[in-house]
Amino acid sequence: MRVEVRVESADNELRSLLNWLRSDPDIKRSAALEMREQPPQEGQMGTAADVVQLVTENGWNAANFVLALAAWKRTRPRASRVMVRRDDLVDALTDCSEEQIARLIRLLQEEQGGEGARR
């Protein structure tokens, strides 16, 4: 399964998130992480970091991932919106409420091709 995480802020927030997730032993053991870049837009030089991509392997635990993501978000000085995408399913983590965390875990645990809402 491939999961993409987008942070509505600067590149350094994505790098911080990537380092945070790489330091989590459960995530490091069950998934490959990388930062994907998009090609530069017209008038821009170089590339810009776009998303942190997580590709799961055996032993994937969606709850561990979402809890690590929420823990990272709580450490950030600015309240950036974090978008999580799996296939066509997209949801946002804004205030790290129990409801949002539970909804995001469900999104990541749904069967491939399941119905999901865009938020």
Encode the chain in three state secondary structure: CEEEEEECCCHHHHHHHHHHHHCCHHHHHHEEEEEEEECCCCCCCCCEEEEEEEEECCCCCHHHHHHHHHHHHHCCCCCCCEEEEECCEEEEECCCCHHHHHHHHHHHHCCCCCCCCCC
Tokens coding 13: 């927030």
pLDDT tens profile 43-71: 555 445 578 888 886 667 889 999 999 99
* The pLDDT of residue 100: 93
Tokens 């999580």 locate to 84
Residue spans of the chain under pLDDT 70: 9-11, 38-49, 57-59, 79, 111-119
Pairing of strands 48-56, 2-7: antiparallel
Q: Is the pTM of this model over 0.85?
A: no
